[in-house]
A and B are shown apart, each in its own frame.
Chain A
Amino acid sequence: MPMPNSDHIKVKVWRGDAGGGSFAEFEVPQQPAQTVLDVVTWIQRHADSTLSYRFACRVGMCGSCAMMVNGIPRWTCRTHVNKVVQDNRLTVEPLRNLPVIKDLACDMSEFFDKWKRAEGQFSGTNTRAQAVAAISPAEPARRAANAAIECINCAICYAACDVVSWNPGYLGPAALNRAWSLQNDSRDRRHGERLRAISADGGCLSCHSQQGCASYCPNELNPTASIAGLKKMAASAFFRSR
């Protein structure tokens, strides 16, 4: 979308906490190559210093600055204003599907608790006294793990997922994507426990393959494909155990 002919953007920012809130409006000067995070930072530094938001690296690595921008979950540090501005307006809200702490900062506890519930921790088979495991990059399992491994846990997929909004117990795309990468890691020793965890109520079988996660993942990962792999893995394990 071309940049509108105006030197200011009208920005609606959600202000509030877990008890509720409303939108505040700001006029922010436009800059070349300006990102949505630049806009939020300008508001905090020049218009309202009480605005709370979260960021760290500003280069798309830490996954902490995700917000809803014009209704779509995005990493704000890598989202240029001129790509998302509509009629010279921006609406910035906290991520969907997560409780708000204050303003644009969400409580990520449940997101990471679900990561743990999905057995997202690596548990190695070897001790540090043993040699490093030799794994060919061409191995099919390693390739499957590689395809899922670049997740930065920004929770954009979690905010995009309708199943999370309907079923708060659903583990969500990021946790299941992590589980898939570990299920394909031959050095991990908890494949059985993890498969049980992700086959239970609220696990991979709850996914409707709507692909909101894959559509909005800023790293272009495909958690839907990872979850489909987990479903297949769970079904195969069931029939093998008969």
Chain B
Amino acid sequence: MIELRLYLAQRISAAIMAPLVLVHLGVMIYAIQGGVSADEILARTRGSLLWGGFYGLFVIAVAVHAAIGLRNILSEWLHLRGLLLSGLCWFIGFALLAAGLRAVAAVVGS
């Protein structure tokens, strides 16, 4: 059953990421049309619950998606199994989550 849960978690996280990436790219292209500096961008994102939630959700989806994907690769190519495989994937997931949330905090924190 764990295989099915991991499979579904990876597909659901992909389905979450896809529209978020499109919105991210769309907003970025729209926002820089008139020329915009990093300070101006930060002035708009700091303190914004909307952008905090938007990128926070993206980071969570990335951490879930990438950790499960790497689990498959480590299992198939390096033949890792059991606790070592699970431990490595939890580590990768938490490392991505920590790095991503730190970046989100820098963009939306004051």
Contact = CB atoms under 8 A, between A and B. Distances in A.
B4 A167 contact: no
A205 B7 contact: yes
A163 interface: yes
Given A235-B8, A238-B8, A205 B76 contact: no
B4 A163 contact: no
A205 B75 CA distance: 14
Given A231-B7, A238-B8, A199 B75 contact: no
B3 A205 contact: yes
Contact of B1 (A199, A231, A235): A199
Interface string A126-166: 00000000000000000000000000000000000001001
Q: Which secondary structure dominates where chain B touches chain A?
A: helix
A200 interface: yes
B30 interface: no
A203 B8 contact: no
Interface of A: 163, 166-167, 199-201, 203, 205-206, 231, 234-235, 238
Given A201-B3, A205-B4, A234-B4, 17 more contacts: A163-B76, A166-B76, A166-B77, A167-B75, A167-B76, A199-B3, A199-B4, A200-B3, A201-B2, A203-B3, A206-B3, A206-B72, A231-B7, A235-B4, A235-B8, A238-B5, A238-B8
